[in-house]
Amino acid sequence: MKNNLTEKFLKYVAQTSDAPVGIEVDRAQGIYFYDTNGKKYIDLIAGIAVCNMGHSHPEIINTVKEQLDKYMHLMVYGELVQQPQVELAEKLCSFLPASLNSVFFVNSGSEAVEGALKLSKRYTGRNELIYFDNAYHGSTHGALSVMGNKAFKTAFHPLLPNTKAIRFGIEEDLQLITDKTAAIIVELIQGEAGVRIATVEYWQKLKQRCDETDTLLIADEIQTGLGRTGKLFAFEHYNITPDILLLGKAFGGGMPLGAFIADKKLMHVLTHNPVLGHITTFGGHPVCCAAGLAHLKLITDNDMWKNVEPMGEKLETIFWKIPNVKEIRRKGLMIAIDFQDTQTNFKTLDTLLEKGIFSDWFLWCDTALRIAPPLILNEEHLEEIENLLFVNFFQ
């Protein structure tokens, strides 16, 4: 412990649990980070699906430095024309279906959710919101209202009225979407639930039901977006186009940035009755947008999603060799290694950490290891992981 940093962390920095991981971080590079004692960790979680191009990518760092030299915050979102914001919005839209053509920048995933819920209510004139059991969309009040876990939300009641949970992947529940529903918010691959996947047919039926009832489909791609699942966006796996797309996490290239994206005709309702229907001071911060743009260029110029499935498959083969693994659920590099036993999971997590492999668990699935490495993972990294795991270890 240097300069009692950990002691001060525990004393002055508000804690989210009684058991933080508590590694004193010194620096990070590529798929690695290093603690203040010089110990190296392989980061198999990437800040929970954030650092898709790895840590400290030189192109992102240089772009950020260049922007810092020009200007930082100037004015609340939406008033001044700022190049990094405009370029990021244009570039993003160039990879999206024509109906996703207007980008509203915010600071985080939760804020993207808040904006989308408000937009849905305002556009449809309805107020019923539907979500999935075991959904996670963030921790603010609106996002909490559409969280699919009672234990986590009950303490904060009352939340938004007129919200309704349906079961993930169960076709018969789609009838609960009616002409009273403003929107259904979905994770196309459920994250905190422990990587849960539904069929193409299911998603197409869900979209069809939305169309029949004029219900907006909000796709929360805060975790699945930007290449993580083997496509730039997860909705591409299912041949559906959401009405509102949510981005966060990797979108800022390591800086805080979120967005909700829709057709201009929807987005327009936020400009009147009332004017300034959604306000953010820092949303679309120029430095964050510059980082996001550099990151998006790296992802798309290098077709990073093409590396995802082969690496995911190989990582899965390696993790099957760990004792007591009962099931692996995976889409690209979004992976749950399920021991179907909490104790075994946490014991394995500790052993991995000791060996210098950093991973995590899932909020609603504490029997499974969570693996979401940077998308730059390569064969040498895999070999290093395998050696760490099985030489003098799980053999």
Minimum distance between the CB of residue 27 and ligand PMP, rounded to whole angstroms?
23
Q: Which stretch binds ligand PMP (CB under 6 A): 83-91, 131-139, 176-184, 197-205?
A: 131-139
Q: Which stretch binds ligand PMP (CB under 6 A): 19-27, 104-112, 229-237, 323-331?
A: 104-112
* One character per residue 46-85, x = contact with ligand PMP (rule: CB under 6 A): --x-------------------------------------
Of 84, 138, 148, 252, which one interacts with ligand PMP (CB under 6 A)?
138
Return the SS3 of 31: coil
Q: Given the complex with ligand PMP, which of 121 and 137 has the nearer CB atom?
A: 137
Of 63, 85, 108, 359, which one interacts with ligand PMP (CB under 6 A)?
108
Q: Which residue has the tokens 């008033």?
A: 79
Beta strands in the chain (DSSP E): 25-29, 32-35, 40-43, 102-106, 128-132, 163-166, 181-186, 189-190, 196-197, 216-220, 244-247, 258-262, 327-331, 334-338, 357-358, 360-362, 365-371
What is the distance, to the nearest Å, from the Cα of residue 259 to the centroid of all Cα atoms in its chain? 12
Minimum distance between the CB of residue 81 and ligand PMP, rounded to whole angstroms?
26
Is residue 220 at the binding interface for ligand PMP, with CB under 6 A as the rule? yes
| Whole-angstrom distance, CA of residue 49 vs CA of residue 170 | 27
Residues facing residue 244 across a β-bridge: 218
| Whole-angstrom distance, CA of residue 265 vs CA of residue 249 | 26
Q: Which two tokens stand for residue 79?
A: 């008033």
* 375 contacts 47 by C-beta, under 8 angstroms: no
State the burial class of residue 199 (Cβ atoms within 10 Å of its Cβ: 0-12, 13-18, 19+): exposed
* One character per residue 170-199, x = contact with ligand PMP (rule: CB under 6 A): -----------------x---x--------
| Whole-angstrom distance, CA of residue 89 vs CA of residue 259 | 10
Minimum distance between the CB of residue 112 and ligand PMP, rounded to whole angstroms?
7
Binding footprint of ligand PMP, residue count (CB under 6 A): 14
Is residue 223 at the binding interface for ligand PMP, with CB under 6 A as the rule? yes
Restricting to residues 240-269, name those near ligand PMP by CB under 6 A: 248
Of 222, 247, 368, 389, which one interacts with ligand PMP (CB under 6 A)?
222
Q: Catalog residues that contact ligand PMP under the rule CB under 6 A.
A: 48, 108-110, 113, 136-138, 187, 191, 220, 222-223, 248
